[in-house]
Structure 1
Amino acid sequence: MPNTRSLVPNDPVSASRRALLGGVAALALLPRGARAQGTKAPPAPAAVPGAPAAAGSARALTAAPGTLRLKPEPAAPTPVWSFDGRATPPVVRIRLGEMARLKVENRTDKPLSLHWHGVRNQNPMDGVGGVTQAPIAPGADFTYAFVPPDAGTFLIRPLVVGGSSEPSGRGLAGALVVEEATPPAVDQDLTLLMQDWRLDDATTLLPFGQPVFAGSSGRLGSLVTLNGVPVPAPITARPGSRLRLRLGNVCNARATRIRFDGVKVYVLAVDGQPTDTFEPLRATLPFPPGTRYDLMLDMPTEAGAKGAITALIGNGIALATLAATDEAAAPPRPPIAKIGDNPLLPAEVKLQNAVRRDITITGGARVDKDKPAAEPVYTGDPSRVWSVNGAPGTAGMAPLFSVKRGHVVVLAIRNETAFPQSLHLHGHVFRLLHPLDDGWEPYWLDTFQLLEGRTARIAFKADNPGRWLISATVLERFDTGLWTLFEVT
């Protein structure tokens, strides 16, 4: 039977916020082995505003009300929003160099726009309603057409200034998979999207817009699904077969760690960008909203062998079970190896003449340090809960800073709130720097989590013209001011 147990007791609104994740930025996946190299960087890609669309009609992606069975009968189905009337979030697959062309039809009663989370996109196609485009009004449509410069696994998330949490919390999410020109040989290539749903005692979604959620840990759900199915979702495979798992977190707010039980997994890519293949430390990975991992594993060769992918929520909740069938084992394959490098990304980020800016995040609910188990309290303006450098993000705001195209930018981001902050850099990817500017973590990122009271520094080459956001991936926080923007000219 699907696991429908409540997650509410683990809601940091009613429990210690320190139960979430550990570490300065919660993304120290490897020992600090990477250092700046002396090789010359290849040229970065140029965005092409207004690039012509490919011939042929766009694929329709219709957002509309529907229902989803989140609890077994006799419980009623839950009213949700979905794409194309399907319970499973859509996975749009294209090959590297092909155009993604989708006509988004909004049949909901709220404005909508779709952010292509992680794509180093053309600015007009980034999908931030109120910044890069006008939101798609109810009954209207908008066609997104762009050629992703990178292969990888990316997310489709609603992102409208002041109105992102509800379409996401009602179920609108998906993935964009850009296949490599020569993908690694696998027996199954599976995209797995984790969502959670905040339900009442029956099967109805609880109301949206509560300031206490926006001011604390966001809208944490009470039931988890994987690809629209209550967990654990079953995955079966021939013994010895090789699986590629594209794991993405499209929850409104749920940050967790994931653990791999009974199988040995290797990380191929983080946030869509390839990395040197490695085994996760203690078989676990941090998993804040917006994060993606490309993983590869070989099933055990014994028939009937089992494994699991577990979210470390409470005592642990299995997201998926892995089971080897009774078939004969697959022939041995070569050892799992890296999928290559992205030649469009620089081999190094030269920090000597970088443009440096400080970013400070403030606001949110108050936490009584003498009563750590007490619920956070927020009494301020419910539409301006958070601030970045003293100002909440608002449509029409001026850029926090402007930089000439091609310059390296180093941002020192300070979290002066009482809660971990999951943050996303639009249009670019970055390196997470070591404290003394003597190197960086050996993977590219576009999303990371910064714990309360900490400072992290990130470096990136500003090679994509336009106005780009630095935004919370907890969507109630985004809706209430936790974002800012910068300009690349």
Structure 2
Amino acid sequence: MSAGFRRSGMSRRGFLGLGAGLAAVGVAQACGVRSAASSPVGPGSPQVAELERTRRAAGARVVDVPLRAKQATVDLGGVQVPTWVFDDRLPGPEIRLRRGDVLRARLSNEVSEDTSVHWHGIAMRNDMDGVPGLTQDPVRPGSTFTYEFAVPHAGTYFFHPHVGVQLDRGLYAPLIVEDPDEPGRYDAEAVIVLDDWLDGVTAGPDAKLAELRRDGMKMDHGGMSGMGHGDMGHGSAGGGASPLGADAGDVDYPHYLVNGRLATAPETVPAKPGQRLRLRLINAAGDTAFRVALGGHRMTVTDTDGFPVEPVEADSLLIGMGERYDVVVTLGDGVFPLVASAEGKQGQAMALIRTGAGAAPPADVRPRELDGGLLMADALSAAAPVRLAAGQPDRTHTVELGMDMSQPYRWTLNGKAFDEHVPMPVQQGERVRLRFVNKTMMFHPMHLHGHTFQVVGGQRPGPRKDTTSVLPMQTVEVDFVADNPGQWMLHCHNIYHGEAGMMTTVSYVE
């Protein structure tokens, strides 16, 4: 087993800690366990390497990408902020591949802290997943690390660090994997990255986390968390309470961005009347869900988290942190605001889509579509080619989302914060059900690394996703096939909840 440690690059101390946690796992924690296995499949195991060999087609194209994580001052549109970015840009430079390509990305760490890159939503090899202490050692300041893996699925993804609250700086960028078998579905496309912003304006994300840990949560959304706030806030369709509950986030952000720009200085997407425009929507925010609408248009949702769904029309779409949605719109003639309103908070982000003449709308414009029919993931069904086969799970893990009330700000899964977590075992080939039971009054976008699950619906198959929002005091069940061996994170993609303890691991065992 020691050879596996060397290949993965992960510290022996970290992996021994994982093994100790697995030793405490009892058969009673799971239903339908075939055997009481307890030997973990590490990121450097032969199974991981062998699966990567099967994913790589002979002669697969290798795409080489340099990435520099560095400190820079960026312009949000009249507001200059010092922050950390990839290659001097916000968002970082887009990586675009084709399904089946091999990505080779060489990360140079030029910031003052350890960092990494997590390839959010990609079912890549475990030792390239970018989680220090679990799948690799951290990339130290002044050091480099080369990520190399085959990309098995098309879709809309993104990448970001998995160290502390670095995601709430500017270290993120889109990762688009094209499907060569889908020509003709649209005429043009635009990648839209949503974000909430405080770095360089306030003391920054590390100071915000320290404040939360010291003082706990506050009602810092004008005393009306989750309710509408005139033109710059919003509630649910029709102006009522937010579907995310009375408290949609813990941080009162000074700015909200589309593609790194403020609503007062928006990015403009040029297009032509009558075109079918594909919008790839990515929520890279740390603590904010967004309600998205395009003024004067209805959207047809075609994909979520990289996988196709049965198309559904909607006026507006609610997108949680870490989620991605692809929508298609047939464009009219004029200038149209693409608005991302911060759910349950004050403020919004905006871009413009221009197909003709006309004045740009004001930064606080509120298209009527924001108050129209709101679509959430529970209304979607996976497209037939990507549905999981019907069947019952071989193993079920209940994941209770909670908070340790004995401390000001300590979020938990199954009553434990990450520093004391017990890994959840799975075995290769199993169909695994995760039963998320939210015992808190906040929503949690739960993200599983290395896999795409299917939301368990009622009379229809739910969508295929890797991030699902679990509403306050609600239960969501998802199924996935254990077909990607290794050690994988499962966590809330509210970056502050995750860093304050709401993380665990899904552990392949033999």
Is the TM value for this pair above 0.5? yes
2:52 to 44, 48, 55: 48
Deviation at residue 99 of structure 1 after TM alignment: 0.8
CA gap 1:184/1:270 in 2 versus in 1, 3 angstroms: same
Quote how far apart the aligned CAs of 1:54 are.
7.0
Contact 2:451 2:466 in 1 (8 A): yes
Structure 1 position 380 matched with structure 2 position 380: no
Question: CA 1:348/1:199 → structure 2, altered by over 3 Å: closer, same or farther?
Answer: same
Write out the 4+ residue segments of structure 1 that deviate beyond 6 Å after TM superposition: 49-57
Secondary structure in structure 1 of the residue aligned to 2:194: strand
TM-fit CA distance, 1:349: 3.9
- How far, CA to CA, are the matches of 2:403 and 2:203 in structure 1? 31
Choose from 269, 280, 285 the match for 1:235: 269
Deviation at 1:182, TM superposition (A): 3.0
The alignment status of 1:412 with 2:412, answered yes or no, reads no
Question: Given the superposition, is the C-alpha separation of residues 220 and 458 from structure 1 closer, same or farther in structure 2, using an over 3 Å criterion?
Answer: farther
* 1:59 alignment counterpart: 65
Contact 2:387–2:464 (CA under 8 A) maintained in structure 1: no
Name 2:179's counterpart in structure 1.
180
Shift, 1:256, TM fit: 2.6
Give how far 1:195 is off. 1.3
- Equivalent positions of 1:57-206 (< 5 A) are 58-70=64-76, 72=78, 77-160=80-163, 163=164, 165=165, 167-185=166-184, 186-198=186-198, 205=204
Specify which structure has the bigger relative contact order, considering alpha-carbon pairs within 8 angstroms and separated by 6 or more residues.
1
Question: 1:263 is matched with which residue?
Answer: 297
Per the TM alignment, residue 219 of structure 1 is displaced from its structure 2 partner at its CA by: 4.0
Partner Cα separation in structure 2 for residue 54 and residue 144 of structure 1: 16
1:94 Cα offset (Å): 0.6
For these two proteins, the number of residue pairs brought into alignment is 398
Alpha-carbon contact 2:258-2:349 (below 8 Å) kept: no
Question: Contact 2:168–2:495 at 8 Å: present in 1 too?
Answer: no
Tell me the equivalent position of 1:292: 324
> Following the alignment from structure 2 to structure 1, what is the Cα–Cα distance between the partners of residues 127 and 384?
24
- SS in structure 2 at match of 1:124: helix
Cα drift, residue 98 of structure 1: 0.7
Shift of 1:199: 5.8
Name the SS for the 1:394 alignment partner.
Answer: helix
What do the CA deviations read for 1:346-399 (whole angstroms, capped 9, x no partner)?
Answer: 542411x531121112216x6xxxxxxxxxxxx7276xx12211221139x652
Distance (whole Å) between structure 1 residues aligned to residue 469 and residue 502 of structure 2: 14
- 1:399 aligned partner, one-letter code: P
Q: Is the 8 A contact 1:199 1:221 kept in 2?
A: no
Q: Does 1:350 align with 2:411?
A: no
The residue aligned with 1:8 is none
Aligned to 1:466: 486
- Per-residue Cα deviation, 1:140-188 (whole angstroms, up to 9, x for no partner): 111111111100011112112xx2x1x2222111111000013433442
* Structure 2 equivalent of residue 362 of structure 1: 402
Q: Cα RMSD over matched residues?
A: 2.9
Aligned-pair distance for 1:95? 0.9
- Residue among 377, 394, 399 paired with 2:423: 399
Letter in 2 for 1:380: Q
Deviations 1:92-128 (A, max 9, x none): 0011111111001111111111111111111111111
Q: Could you tell me how far 1:417 is from its partner in structure 2?
A: 2.1
TM-score, reference length from structure 2: 0.71
TM-score using structure 1 length: 0.74
Q: Contact between 1:422 and 1:449, CA under 8 Å: does it hold in 2?
A: yes
1:246 to 275, 280, 303: 280
Which residue of structure 2 lines up, in the alignment, with residue 4 of structure 1? none
Q: Is 1:306 matched with 2:336?
A: yes
For structure 1, the residue ranges without an aligned partner over 5 or more in a row are 1-45, 328-339, 367-378
Distance 1:211 1:456, change over 3 A: farther
State the shift of 1:213 in Å: 7.0
Identity of aligned residues (%): 29
- The CA deviation at 1:306 is 3.1
Taking a change above 3 Å as real, the CA distance of residues 247 and 94 of structure 1, as seen in their structure-2 partners, is same
**What letter corresponds to residue 127 of structure 1 in structure 2?**
G
Matched, 1:440 2:461: yes
Higher share in helix: 2
**Aligned residue for 1:422?**
445
Quote the offset at 1:315 in angstroms. Answer: 7.1
Q: Secondary structure at the match of 2:151?
A: coil
- Distance (whole Å) between structure 2 residues aligned to residue 409 and residue 57 of structure 1: 33
Gaps of 5+ in 2: 1-49, 218-248, 359-381
Residues in 1 aligned to 2:412 and 2:331: alpha-carbon distance in whole angstroms:
47
1:316 Cα offset (Å): 6.5
**In 2: Cα distance, 1:212 partner to 1:113 partner:** 24
Does the aligned pair in 2 maintain the 1:256–1:286 contact within 8 Å?
yes
